Amino acid sequence: MKGFAAWSSVLLGLTSSVIAAPSKYAPTIKEAVEVPRGWVRVSPAPADHVVDLRFGLPQHNFKQLEQALYEVSDPFHDRYGQHLSKEEVESLVAPHPKTLEAVDEWLASHGIAKSICSRSPAKDWVMVKVPVSLAEKMLDTTYHVWKHAESGDTLVRTTSYSLPAHMHEHIELVTPTTYFGRPKGLATTFRWSDAQASLASSGESSIRSASGTVVDASCNSTITLTCLQELYNVTGYTPAATDVNKIGITGYLEQYANIQDLQSFYADQLPKAEGSTFNYTSIKGGQNSQNLSEAGIEANLDVQFAYGLSWPTPGYFWSTGGRPPFIPDLRTVNNTNEPYADWLEYVLSVPNPPQTISTSYGDDEQTVPLSYAIRTCASFAQLGARGVSLLFSSGDGGVGDGDANPATQQCKTNDGRNATRFIPAFPASCPYVTAVGATVSIPEKAVDFTGGGFSNVFPTPLYQVGAVASYLARLPAGTYQGLYNKFGRGIPDVSAQGDYFRVWYRGNPVHVGGTSASSPTVAGLVSLLNDARLSKGLPPLGFLNPLLYTKGVAGLTDVTEGNNPGCGTQGFNATTGWDPLTGLGTPNFGKLKEIVLA
């Protein structure tokens, strides 16, 4: 499987519109954006405010990396499972020597010596701390302090920046500049629940799922580990490769995973796991306070169910800082992080990252600058080529903002046209990750908030062309014409339960729902599949989608009911085969295990 060369060529030659200049040394615009909804300009950024400038350099042989990714992920290819080493990946994404030379010379022209710069292992990122006054000179721009009206978050950003004409081919993007993203946690519902009442009906009767498994009837009102094990045919499996297998959870937005709550969760649902915990790593100032009053519902949901399903597989939790408390009048020096890039910088430097990683956060795709989205997506491809399975929640807004009322819907483009448009989520729209939607009830149907649709940035990947074409061919002619990109990457790829999860939060059991519940659920099951392979001496699964859209379909249960309203519409409908609500369906672990061990 060779992937889609068109997207690769866009990546390799990434530039924004360039204004004609009289000489190659004159600054010309590299990137410009409209300010995303909700951000208000406060004041010019203090000249002595320090920013961590990061320059993304073109990855010289990314096309070969993409080809390798698809070959090692294709179950019908001779290279299947022969994942690349860290060093092999780095050699493919290393910039051309001429680029390294040109960038060093340009930085030196601004008084920045090579000795004060830091570089990624592949040298495709160059990082240096500079005051705003110098950053503005280098990028021919003006930085401002911006405030998010709803949350109060503040950022130092600009709406456009420029580079000398001759540097455009050597620098793909510069951050922090035009990215106003503030990844949303995707726990869409939150309900308090009584510890005893929610379990009162347990064992009184049973129901049969669409896949034929027998599930306790109480699972229609409360989802526990046992419910998921019964529903997805996991009961009885015991991990055997816990010495090599690992599972990871990403954390952002000061969402702290509380160990005391985890112990309460284990006591409630998995007593044999009591006393076990997880490995924690801070990235760019990320914290994980163990003050019970600061526990995060998103982080608790993620770690409790991902680690609970995969126990005793070692769990890893990364907390990445990303919302700097910048106070302009104090002229304080703060971190202006861009979380996905910061997390990727760290995890790509790790020799042996967890084989399965789940992320329950996402942005509206249109709020992410094109250069940042493409470069971040390419970094996910690096992890996939190294044998890492990446799961991302598909979003909680249906086809957009989750509002079917035309009078209040906010699905407007931010490109100056203010046109009505469905709004997919990123990073779920990246073709190198597995996007996970949400279901509810038994038998399962799509939950109405599940994010789904089609990317406006990334084209339909080769592995998905047939499935997406089949779905679109069955849509009545003209349905939602102009509201979505029929040539875009379809979201999601698979789905799982996503509502009424019984989570322990700040000392109490609560019910939580969202695709943020679905992603760690699927991740827990994928981690068990990796365990089954590793225990037999086989490599981990790595990038999942080429498998899922071929042999893996036989291990998924199709979901054919439900819709995901938003943007003043009823959204898309679930149907036979792939659909932009539930993807290919929900996992049957027993069948998938047979497939991946065959």
Binding site for Ca(2+), residues?
Answer: 558-559, 577, 579
**Strand 247-251 relative to strand 356-359: parallel, antiparallel, unpaired?**
parallel
Q: What SS3 class is residue 145?
A: strand
Two tokens at 84? 């690349």
Beta-bridge mates of residue 495: 437
Residue 456 to residue 400: CA distance in whole angstroms: 13
Q: How far apart are CA 89 and CA 94, in angstroms?
A: 9
Among candidate residues 31, 90, 302, 493, the one labeled active-site is 302
The CA-based diameter of the chain, rounded to the nearest angstrom, is 80
Peptide bond into 27 cis (omega under 30): no
Catalytic, 264? Answer: no
Q: Rounded to an integer, what distance in angstroms lies between the CA atom of residue 591 and that of residue 541?
A: 15
302 in active site: yes
Closest CA to 597 of 546, 543, 536: 536
Which residues of 256-314 form beta strands (DSSP E)?
279-283
Structure token digits, residue 240: 């055997």
> Is 516 assigned a catalytic role?
yes
Q: For residue 210, how many other CB atoms are within 10 A of its CB?
A: 18
CA R_g for the chain = 23
Contact 462, 3 (CB under 8 A): yes
Task: Note whether 415 and 492 are within 8 A (CB).
Answer: no
The active-site residue, picked from 516, 518, 519, 527, is 516
Binding residues: 558-559, 577, 579
**Which residues neighbour 478 within 8 Å (Cβ) at sequence distance 6 or greater?**
none
The residue written with tokens 């952002």 in the block is 252
Report how far Cα 526 is from the mean position of its chain's Cα atoms.
16
Contact 522, 552 (CB under 8 A): no
> Structure tokens of 378?
């390419």
User: Which residue, among 54, 210, 197, has the nearest Cα to 561 in the 3D structure?
Assistant: 210
Cβ atoms of 584 and 467 closer than 8 Å: yes
Both tokens of 402, joined, read 């989750």
Catalytic residue among 298, 363, 403, 499: 298
**168: how many CB neighbours lie within 10 A of its CB?**
18
Residue 318 buriedness (CB in 10 A; 0-12 / 13-18 / 19+): buried
Which residues belong to the active site? Answer: 298, 302, 516
